[in-house]
Amino acid sequence: MPSLFDPLSVGELTLSNRILMAPLTRMRSQQPGNIPTELNATYYSQRASAGLIISEATQISQQGQGYPATPGIHSPEQVAGWQAVTKAVHHHQGKIILQLWHVGRISHSSHQPNGQLPVSPSNGTPAGMVFTAQWKQVPYEAPHVLTLAEIDAIRQDYKVACQHAQLAGFDGVEVHGANGYLLDQFLQDGVNHRQDEYGGSIENRARLLLEVVDQAIAIWGKGRVGVRLSPYGTFNDISDSNPIDLFQYVLSQLSHRQIAYVHVIEPRATLAGGADQLAPNAPSATNLFRAHFTGTWISAGGYTPESAEMAVSTQQADAIAFGRWFISNPDLPHRIKVGASLTPYHRPTFYGGSEKGYTDYPILSQSA
């Protein structure tokens, strides 16, 4: 019977344990330029005991940015900044992969090249508010609908980002296809109303995600590519009329490609980083979809140490990704192993700022 502390082969990677660090947007990159810093290197290296670190979502282009001070992977300075991060993690015997991000319509013109409008598969302004580059909250803008030529350009941006991730020293890449961002916007018909080869049928709506995955495989090899999905998610005003057929198809296609893993957010945690409340009556993505993917299944969303151990020991999941608990417990695997209490996290310091609430959480020996 497997446990959280058994090693795990994930594609070409061998993980020392099954407690993974989920991607966590922290908005602490150097400005201007959205460049990772030594502070970021310290933060990630403190958490190198995770079986695998999945980096914070990282925009593949300036167009892909949707929040202030999030890091990129599209400039030489950003690549150099990430090199310091991966070197620090590897120095502590950790493994880290880069999550590739394009937010699509979940942005504001202040983040965009030349102040252009954010982009989307289709017309339709998201509900809610967005942070501008000046950290002001304003309503979302009506997005620009992507042309086929512009979709081709985005696909090229993903290719370059994969190449840059190799230069930066990462151990692989995760394609962010979740949480209502661009690739999820193409997947789900609550947003995607296109009538061309990227809209309409499930096969067409999944086309861009799978094309991006194929490009990542061509550069990295299938054993170093993962994908994040959020079936039944509602974050960022996303929805689909038939999520079961949609995500069964997507997962079967990813299974056929034999990628290293899929990383699936449980619908009970659909609010992502926005709140602590769980939806206890939400469907189980693992129960509904796992049979359609034969590779490593990483589950995320509202886990406690106890429920994580149960999920792995009963083989509902191969590994569990923790988010908020890794923020406040840099030595989370050790704490879980010895049954120590967990340090509470401080939500007001999640986004933006400097050391406070970022690199100043103690490890167990310090807190004792």
Predicted confidence at residue 188, as pLDDT, reads 98
pLDDT digits (tens, 9 = 90+) for 279-297: 878 899 999 999 999 999 9
pTM of the model: 0.97
Selected catalytic residue, list 140, 181, 249, 361 = 181
List the domain boundaries for the chain: 8-367
3-state secondary structure of 36: coil
Q: Is pLDDT above 80 for 225?
A: yes
Q: Is pLDDT above 90 for 243?
A: yes
CB atoms within 10 A of CB 81: 24
pLDDT digits (tens, 9 = 90+) for 140-189: 999 999 999 999 999 999 999 999 999 999 999 999 999 999 999 999 99
Predicted confidence at residue 273, as pLDDT, reads 63
Return the ∠ at Cα 284 (arms to 278 and 287), rounded to 5°: 155
- Cα separation, 287 vs 161, in Å, equals 33
The residue among 327, 366, 273, 364 whose CA lies nearest residue 44 is 327
pLDDT digits (tens, 9 = 90+) for 80-91: 999 999 999 999
% of the chain exceeding 70 in pLDDT: 98
Active site residue 181: yes
- At residue 272 the predicted structure's pLDDT band, cuts being 50, 70 and 90, is low
Predicted confidence at residue 281, as pLDDT, reads 81
Q: What is the mean pLDDT of residues 10-35?
A: 98
CB atoms within 10 A of CB 234: 17
CATH match of 8-367 with 3.20.20.70? yes
The residue among 216, 232, 241 whose CA lies nearest residue 264 is 232
% of the chain exceeding 90 in pLDDT: 95
Q: What is the mean pLDDT of residues 38-47?
A: 98
